[in-house]
Structure 1
Amino acid sequence: MISLHGRYIMQEAFTVALIEPNECIGQAIISELERLQFVKKILIYNRFDVSDNGFLFRGAPVSNAPLDTITDEQIKLLIYCADDNSYPFYRSRVDFNHQWLIDASGGGFDPQMLFFDQMDLDSIKEVKLPHPIAYQYTLILDVFNGLYNLKSANLFTACAVSTGGQVAMNELIMQTKAILNHEEIEYDVFPKQIALNCLPQIYSSSHISNAKLKEIILEQIKFYFSNVNFKIDLTMVQVPVLRGHTMVSHIETEQAISLKTVKEYFMDHASTEIVASPNPAQHCIFKNQIHIGEITHNLQDETSISMVSMADEFGFGIGAPLRALLIRKYQKVMNIN
């Protein structure tokens, strides 16, 4: 029971099922679930891998569970973490009479189920989290739209190899070691060398094409701003960084921008922090904020601004919307006055 301005938040404790989480996504989700007192237990479901998962929840090992227990009465929430291929299989086994399903893969687009803060969570049983890049850009663009009305946004993202999941991160590590040891480089996830290199295509753990991934991200952003008439474009490249996307936003608004007001907003907002020189090692891994670096205001055009930001695909890109979703869904506010 938590006091909140004279009211109390109460929620019956229950078990959460994590479906096919990889190491990075699983840890990001578990970190968020540990914050919520009404989550008493986590179980891992994986129909292809029954080896020890290595996850800890509040210091205790997380157990694997047999698939035939997935509809247990104690399991109120299921969080799907794998690519789109297995989603129909698990969805068909959910008991929507007492269970709620979250798709955290980030690869789907369905306006009726895509979570943003306007969604009515009382009327649905299934929710899809937005793609981490779409979610991060949405938060940034929403600031400028609220203050000055968006006119256009030209977005560039240098994507870490975490877009391809743990196997892509492992490949970058192995290729880097091979180069340093003057050994032959092996390819699996990427068609060309990614170590000490950049690639013009983004490789996704959902195995969708670069064009489709870009389309999904843009459509999710446009969906959030469906009532706003503005132009938007997105360019992405893959860079040899394990985690942490660098995002460059060139934004034009209908009204003149105050750099002082923008900086004050980002400094006061819980989801953002202004830092001198953001870098992946210091400001991304296990961080749950967007770190904003250089902000350039064109004095000759007061309606345009450019800014550099950086965020972790897992810690913030998945963790932040999941946290907002769970708090809104499960914390029932009761007035005891």
Structure 2
Amino acid sequence: MTEGNFVDYVKMNVQSGNGGKGSMHLHREKFITKGGPDGGDGGRGGHVILRGNENQWTLYHLKFKKHVRAGHGGHGSSSRSSGADGEDVYVDVPLGTVVRDFETNEVIFEITEHGQERIIVEGGKGGLGNWHFKTSTNQTPRYSQPGIPLSERDILLELKLLADVGLVGFPNAGKSTLLSVITSAKPKIADYEFTTLKPNLGIVEYRDFQSFVMADIPGIIEGAAEGKGLGHYFLRHIERNSILLFLVPADAPDIHKQYEILLDELRRYNPEMLDKERFVVISKSDMLDAELEAELKEELDKTLPIDYMFISSVAQKGIVDLKDKLWKMLND
């Protein structure tokens, strides 16, 4: 998936259908000149329905679909014939989509399961025909109900990635390089900060045709929880990952401090993130000789509070062991 095709934020105007008018009709036949009321009901207006689709990964297919309109209900007719219901419109969205009201920013609902359907705007109810209003004192009512008008609202669709493993690290920590090596994804890779501006997804192939999904999240900077840098734009993608894989480059001035800063940003954004399983990899370890790596390992054993591993995406060092470790964590 190319970066340009990853769309995780869409504004949309949705409009249901009008309910059809009830009929005001009196029964007439050749030898029946004063038949009773027989006006049918109007049809229901169409709903706009959001539906979860596990085969979609982004909101790109909705990027240029700014207006969604459902069908109007048909009007009632004679012989108590009801009008046709308006056509419902289904909008497929990837799992992890949060639906917000554009005016209030209130969360309306979330789509997290395949096939899950939620009505975002209901079609207007059809009006009743005049035969419903016949009474002993009003044998020929000459009125019927109009249909209920359509509903309309502006909504925001906001995607939070549903990935098994999320890569967390400072800019230029080697997250995109790792993703390109461990999966078949082809993220943009360059030697400058914020090369990745949008999340990338890749599928990690494991033994016996098994697999899991890894997400490369744009780099965190200090103050991201307050919206600095790309701020909330990408932190929300980390919320739905099962495992957080922290990447700290081997040439970092203080590996333990970098890990603590990253952890603190997640805590300030959403304390529940600290309940997720975490693992640290020291990337770019091909820059270390055996002696330097041994010294660093001795220091990290004392300071780093969780498990860690040395890897090098370029030299393919530790990649198989990393897959094994992540698979074990996912299936424990």
TM range (shorter): under 0.3
Q: Which has the higher contact order (CA 8 A, sep 6+)?
A: 1
Provide TM-score, normalisation by structure 2. Answer: 0.27
More helix by share: 1
